[in-house]
Structure 1
Amino acid sequence: MSAEVHQAGVTSSDTTFDLILSIDTVAEKYGTREAFIMQMDLDLPADPAAADAAEELLAEELRAKIPGAVFASGRNIKLLVEDIGGRILTVTASVAIAALLLACLGVGNVVAAGITARGFEFGVIRSVGGAPSVAPRLVLAEITAAGLAAVVVGIALGVHLAWMGVGLYHDLAGLQLALDVPILPTLVGSGGVVIAALLASIPASMSLRRRAPRVLLASGRGG
């Protein structure tokens, strides 16, 4: 059962409401035990406070005229769903950021270990006339390449998982969803990963500038 309701002096965006009557109430008032759900499209004010007041007024009138009726606002349900979704995204984003910070610590340790193991190689580069900045730039270039590779693999995995989710929603729930890859957030996240990796490797790579060639050569092959 559906109805169009237009309240005097109320004009703005449409909002959907569900009016649910219990079976006992329907049996008492209408002589049947069938369940009824009435959906109404209302024109509400754009101001949230005025819209809430109009909803509450309508709910009171419906409860007074139809005892046992349960009044639910589609707008409030939508806000609740958005709030829950926002909280979930906040938690998952926090976990992802924490994982990224831990990964940065791992990158710094790996770079430091690599520099120690390749000290003789960097010493040879310095001994044959290489500038002090050559070795750090080589290390940063390697980290940049590794970061870009991680970005490509991560994006591919994310798109694949999203595509699987679309298929599951279609097969299990019958929902027609479209795969949409947000370009700007993807680029920002990719840049953040590469920059974080570079920042984590800068202290270890810059330490090469302060080491004399003889110190690097003295470390011997393999550190």
Structure 2
Amino acid sequence: MSDVLTIAMPKGRIFEEAAELLRKANFQLPPEFDDSRKLIIDIPEENMRFILAKPMDVTTYVEYGVADLGIAGKDVMLEEERDVYELLDLKISKCYLAIAGLPNTSTSRVAQKVATKYPNIASTYFREQGEQVEIIKLNGSIELAPLIGLADRIVDIVSTGRTLKENGLVEMGHIGDITSRLIVNPVSYRLKDERIDDIVNRLAEVVDQL
């Protein structure tokens, strides 16, 4: 493996908050780092390379070793169940997984339909609750499903609850709180343990102050 440490990060809110954490931990990221449209960004000063990916792909890149480290939401880790180690709760991008539906939706009907982009999490949750449901996987606009009669309920990420409210939906259950985590490829952790431990320790000091 190369001496360069490769880190996979999701685009969007997590990227912005993670970049701020790295800077607070005294990693020298150039100003243009935040605005770059590149998918691979090299930071020679830190001997680091960043891969910008879709959130659901970060754990895959880390598992297969094309990235040594990654920053992924706990929701992605639970859904994908990849062979990676979780090193640190970064306590950023806080949100939660919730069940929602239209007001007065009955939950007594057998085999209700539940739409979500988290089929594994939803299946596990409802099975543990003893509920028989049919899971419908969607990739976006999950809130639309109850409005058009595709599903009785949804399972989705909630941050402020504004999107649910604007679409006339109400929360009907709380599955779990979500934050972003620092993850590592097991082989990389053995071969680059000193550098990785240094990153973990520096970030942990910043996180403890949040």
**Which has the bigger relative contact order, CA under 8 A and spacing at least 6?**
2
TM-score normalized by the length of structure 1: 0.21
- Structure showing the higher strand proportion among its residues: 2
**Highest Rg: 1 or 2?**
1
TM-score normalised to the size of structure 2?
Answer: 0.21
